[in-house]
Structure 1
Amino acid sequence: MKRVQKVVFITLGFVFMGIGIIGIVLPLIPTTPLLLLASYFFVKGSKRFEVWFKGTGVYKKHLEGFVQNRSMTLRQKIILMIFSDVMILIPLFMTDKIIVKVILTSIIVYKYYYFIFKIKTVKVRSY
């Protein structure tokens, strides 16, 4: 892999990790998907950074359970759903094209199906 590409991946990993950490404090920013993105970029960028990231407390507290067990707390699900709904509803209301409205509505419906039936809800994380 090109060195520049690795640097970009590692940089994006730190950017998404930073925003995800901010999301721990600010409930409007979804922590889990941002940390998943950070993990993806660290894996693509460097084995060393992947190992480092998976050893951090942030990863263990907010992401490890999801990655291993495909589970989230109800609070995590609700915050993520609200954030993603707002992001999808903005273009939904701004467009006049029916096909775009149908696609966005389908995404919302599928998202609820997936989060309700495919991701297990746990009360308390065991670390």
Structure 2
Amino acid sequence: MITIKHVKKILFVVIGLISFSIGVAGTILPVLPGGPFYLIAAFCFTKSSERLDNWFKSTKAYDKYVVGFRENRGMTLKEKIRINLIADFFIVLSLFLVDILFVQLIIVALGLYKHYYFIKKIKTI
């Protein structure tokens, strides 16, 4: 019999795997940051399966992106600048490729919010 507990574990595994995949894509592609998705994956794997949690904690991605953030609760200035410059390049590129004014305004608003979030919400270490 499938219980609510089993459904939650399965849901956490699925969300964790999706987040990990997006995190890997974010590590390879400069379009999106991988770190936040690795944090979501770490949370989901901890809640879902001890085996998945142990596996994820043994990866290089966990060491590079999650451990530092968990211990320091922030990012280095160099990481912040690198992520923002790469993201800004693609935001500006998107503005030139999109012809719809409403979409351009949304892109600009999201870009401004990204800067606000990185400056005010993520501690610089």
TM-score, length-scaled by structure 1? 0.62
Residue 75 of structure 2 corresponds to which residue in structure 1? Answer: 72
Aligned residues: 117
Percent of pairs with identical residues: 38
Corresponding residue to 1:15 among 21, 44, 60: 21
Contact 1:14 1:38 in 2 (8 A): yes
Compute the displacement of 1:14 (Å). 5.1
**Partner of 1:92 in structure 2?**
95
Gaps of at least 5 residues in structure 2 are 1-6
Partner of 1:47: 49
TM-score by length of 2: 0.63
Deviation at 1:89, TM superposition (A): 3.0
Instruction: Indicate the SS of the match to 2:124.
Output: strand
Q: Measure how far apart 1:47 and its partner are.
A: 2.9
Superposition deviation, residue 72 in structure 1:
0.1
Deviates more, 1:49-58 or 1:92-101: 49-58
Report the Cα distance in structure 1 between the residues aligned to 2:121 and 2:12, rounded to whole angstroms: 33
RMSD, aligned α-carbons: 3.4
Counterpart residue number, 1:62: 65
Match of 2:116 among 90, 105, 113: 113
Alpha-carbon distance between aligned partners in 2 of 1:115 and 1:109, rounded to the nearest angstrom: 10
Q: CA deviation at 1:27?
A: 9.1
- Gaps spanning 5+ residues in structure 1: where? 123-127
